[in-house]
Amino acid sequence: MKQQRLSGISSLFVVCAAILVAASIFFPWWRMEFFAPQYPEGLNIIVYPNKLDGQIDIVNGLNHYIGMAEFSEENFPELSYLAYIIGGLAILTLATALLRRKSILYGLIAVFMVGGLLGVYDLYRWLNNFGTNLSPTAPIKVDPFVPPMLGENQIANFITTSYLGIGSYLIMAAFILIVIPLWKDRRR
């Protein structure tokens, strides 16, 4: 039985996907912005695959008042290895393009889907942990809450907005690029 091969154009789509996956390492994947009357310019937490950025110290100082744990790279062990996983995914995607086998492409699509689901679960787990494990000795008492992964929320006088960063959009575009060959080469 002859294995189905990807066309040259389809392989080019997959090469482009590999480039997008590799590029995503250098861009934020998720961010949360905080606005309040005393911070009209806003504060933010920016999450890259390998680091946290933004006004982390100020946010931690404010979160202390409601008993929330500190945001730090040490508290997110994923940041120490996630960039390597993404680099490996980029290499796997490029290898799929070079091997041009549909069966390997199906496996790559599965890896993207499982990785995406694990990423969403991990983000939810961390947000749940930070928002529901508040210190009982905090100066300001608030009910436990789960900050939204996407969208807006209000805690006290702070309005928070969470949204995806460019890196996440690059990964989504890469996923679309690896699915296109299934449609494009469906009659081959």
Is 172 inside a domain boundary? Answer: yes
How many domains are contained in the chain? 1
Confidence label for 4 from pLDDT (cuts 50, 70 and 90): confident
Is 104 inside a domain boundary? Answer: yes
Is 48 inside a domain boundary? Answer: yes
Q: How many CA atoms lie within 13 A of 112 on its CB side?
A: 26
Query: What residues does 34 pair with on adjacent strands?
Result: 43, 160
Type and span of the H or E element at 132: helix 102-132
pLDDT digits (tens, 9 = 90+) for 52-94: 999 999 999 998 899 999 999 988 999 999 999 999 999 999 9
Q: What is the pTM of this model?
A: 0.90
Could you tell me the residue range of the domain that residue 52 belongs to?
8-183
Is 188 inside a domain boundary? Answer: no
Is 81 inside a domain boundary? Answer: yes
CA 178 – CA 17 distance, rounded (Å): 7
Report whether pLDDT(2) > 60.
Answer: no
CA 23 – CA 10 distance, rounded (Å): 20
Mean pLDDT for all residues in the chain: 93
What's the per-residue H, E or C state across 26-67?
A: CCCCEEEEEEECCEEEEEEEEECCCCEEECHHHHHHHHHCCC
Is 64 inside a domain boundary? Answer: yes
**Furthest CA-CA distance within the chain:** 70
Is 53 inside a domain boundary? Answer: yes
Instruction: Find the length of the chain.
Output: 188
Is 3 inside a domain boundary? Answer: no
- Confirm if 88 and 26 have CB atoms less than 8 A apart: no
Helix (H, G, I), strand (E, B) or coil at 116: helix
